[in-house]
Amino acid sequence: MSMSPALNHYLAAQQLRYDILSHPHTSNSLSSAYAAHIEPEKVAKAVVVKHGNHYSMCVIPASHQLILEWLEYEQQLSFEMADEQELRGLFPDCELGAIPCVGQAFNMDVIVDTALMDKQDLYFEGGDHRHLVHMESRSFRSMMEDAWQAVISCPIYDEFGDVVH
């Protein structure tokens, strides 16, 4: 499987242009960026949060970490991270850790970090650990047109205090 059937159906229905990039097996979006020789800032990752029984998808750069307090401030709600068992139920056609950042394909509200909106090319997990979906900025912005846009993440720093690239 190179792409989740739900994602494939959504992208086709929306007539969004994309291509698929293969890479060696990885375990997360940041590793996928390195394996595919792509700047991590250009790889969008999904972070699923919940408010009560309502799930939302946060879309942030692979080089960043979600700051729940910033999300809560923007949405004026309290959130917690969805756990592995919940993710398996929400994304049955995806491998754990390779969830596409297209919450719309899974009937989820989407909050996208503004850091992604100015990139020329973007990549994201398609549902497995061996492929990335590549989109040009025009298609990505069109896909995220109805998403809430806000600053909800900050760069990840390594043990030396340097930004992870």
- Dihedral of alpha carbons 18, 59, 144, 116, sign: negative
Give the integer Cα–Cα distance in Å for 87 and 99.
9
Q: Give the Cα separation of 66 and 60 in Å (integer).
A: 7
Q: Please, what are the averages of pLDDT over each run of 10 residues along the chain (165 residues)? A: 89 96 92 93 97 97 96 95 95 94 96 96 96 96 96 81 58
pTM: 0.93
CA dihedral of 20, 26, 27, 33, whole degrees rounded to 10: -60
Structure confidence at residue 2 (pLDDT): 76
What are the chain's domains? 5-155 (3.90.960.10)
